[in-house]
Structure 1
Amino acid sequence: MKTITGIILAAFVTIPGVYADVLTDIKPLQQRWAEVNYQLDEDKREQAFADLLTQADAVVAANTDKAEAYIWRGIITSSYAGAKGGLGALSLTEKSKADLERAIELDDTALQGSAYTSLGVLYYKVPGWPVGFGSDKKARQLLNKALELNPQGIDPNYFYAEFLTEERDYKAAMRYLEIAKHAPARPERPLADSGRQQEITALERKLMKKLK
């Protein structure tokens, strides 16, 4: 099974009323996710993501009607699957897919359309039939929708660039990667930004070799 890259969401603006509660609830998930994904040794990530998933379950239980909670549980579950690897991770990808689809049903614009980004990545990382639900066609549709909602975001642009690289459309991939590279910083999430920029640099080097 292909490694499933964890997904980091674009910055969001705290909004008044009930939504402020869910944004407060997901903040520790975001922070811990970045620590595990970018700072923890690889051999320790599987258990750390499993523990974080328990916390995400509690957040969803407290916010059953909020897309943001399902988005972050979906992200954590997909990251757990990536750390776990192998066929045993396929059931986790199905759970992640279900959470992200539920988020889209509740509010597809939540966190600037991040559910579309996360779901699109799942569709191009997970193997296709008969092993899994993967589909490059579906991935492209979802990632394009994510870009419609957040055209300057670091994540939709990075992951679309990664997808296009796998599709061997290197020139187009570099265009989207440049947008990701110069995306607005997220002051409340410096570790997430730093980690993503490292991934952008690595992909840029790969693309430069392909374009020679």
Structure 2
Amino acid sequence: MPIPRRLLQASVLGLALLLVVPNVLAQASELFSLKNRWEHVTTHNSPDDQVDTLKALAGEAEALSQQYPDNADVLTWQGIILASLASAEGGLGALGPAKEARAALERAIEIDPRGSNASAYVTLGALYARAPGWPIAFGDSETAEAMFQKALEIRPQGIDVNYYYASFLAEEGRTEQAIEHARRAVKGQVREGREDSDEARREDARALLESLE
């Protein structure tokens, strides 16, 4: 007796789910681990003590991005980790990870412009704001501004969005705007799973606000 089409379709779908679900769960578990370890090292260690751990995390993130090359969240976190490594290393040693971070974040935005709740745009804005300009690197204040504005469209009350934008505005001499966004950062709500880093940025925003007022 031939198998009914609906039963055959259900069987094929069930088999597909059995193959896909373990991969999805594995990817989520690995990414969760990366996020947690990044959160810990960047909020509990000094920049000098962050470098070795961030290098190891960057290696893991690279392996994960090769395994899931079209996953925007994976690419965003690869970019975040590399950007943190660039910040911790400083100087000319920061240029390599900063450029790698930019590439990963731009790819993440291509896949999902609103992915990771605007984290890719925030990190790109900070990279463009801090990196040296041409011919040494890719720093550009107009591009930084555009990235921060994109992030604000998605998450206008975000602590990190407003803190990094306020810091950029202060560097640009736009004090009144910097004060406005620093205040927003101080009043912002922390994100689930990002409590430590958001509270750290809130404290940074308070310090920035005190220096500006």
TM-score range, shorter chain: 0.7 to 0.9
1:134 — aligned with what? 139
- One-letter amino acid of the structure 2 residue matched with residue 64 of structure 1: P
- One-letter amino acid of the structure 1 residue matched with residue 45 of structure 2: L
Provide closer, same or farther for how the CA distance between residues 205 and 23 of structure 1 changes in structure 2, counting only shifts above 3 A: farther
Gaps of at least 5 residues in structure 1 are 1-16
Within 1, Cα distance between the matches of 2:154 and 2:195?
A: 23
2:46 to 30, 34, 41: 41
Deviation at 1:22, TM superposition (A): 4.8
2:126 to 110, 117, 121: 121
Deviation at 1:153, TM superposition (A): 1.2
- SS of the counterpart of 2:199? helix
The reply to whether residue 181 of structure 1 matches residue 186 of structure 2 is yes
2:197 to 173, 192, 200: 192
The reply to whether residue 101 of structure 1 matches residue 106 of structure 2 is yes
1:19-168 equivalent positions in 2, closer than 5 A: 22-168=27-173
Deviation at 1:187, TM superposition (A): 3.7
Within 2, Cα distance between the matches of 1:95 and 1:62?
A: 17
Provide closer, same or farther for how the CA distance between residues 92 and 182 of structure 1 changes in structure 2, counting only shifts above 3 A: same
Deviation at 1:121, TM superposition (A): 0.9
Root mean square deviation of aligned Cα: 1.8
TM-score of the aligned structures, taking structure 1 as reference length = 0.84
Deviation at 1:199, TM superposition (A): 1.2
Cα pair 2:163 2:202 within 8 Å, conserved:
no
Within 2, Cα distance between the matches of 1:20 and 1:165?
A: 42
**CA deviations over 1:17-51 (Å, ceiling 9, x no partner):** 89776554322222111211121233221111101
Stretch moving more, 104-113 or 29-38: 29-38
Gaps of at least 5 residues in structure 2 are 1-20
Within 1, Cα distance between the matches of 2:131 and 2:81?
A: 16
State percent identity of aligned pairs. Answer: 37
Within 2, Cα distance between the matches of 1:19 and 1:199?
A: 36
- SS of the counterpart of 1:186? coil
Deviation at 1:149, TM superposition (A): 1.1
- Large movers: runs of 4+ above 6 Å: 17-21
Cα pair 2:76 2:104 within 8 Å, conserved:
yes
For the pair shown, the structure with the greater C-alpha radius of gyration is: 2
Within 1, Cα distance between the matches of 2:149 and 2:31?
A: 25
Deviation at 1:144, TM superposition (A): 0.5
- SS of the counterpart of 1:131? coil
Counting matched residue pairs gives 192
Within 1, Cα distance between the matches of 2:102 and 2:25?
A: 25
RCO higher in 1 or 2 (8 Å CA, sep ≥ 6)? 1
Provide closer, same or farther for how the CA distance between residues 177 and 72 of structure 1 changes in structure 2, counting only shifts above 3 A: same
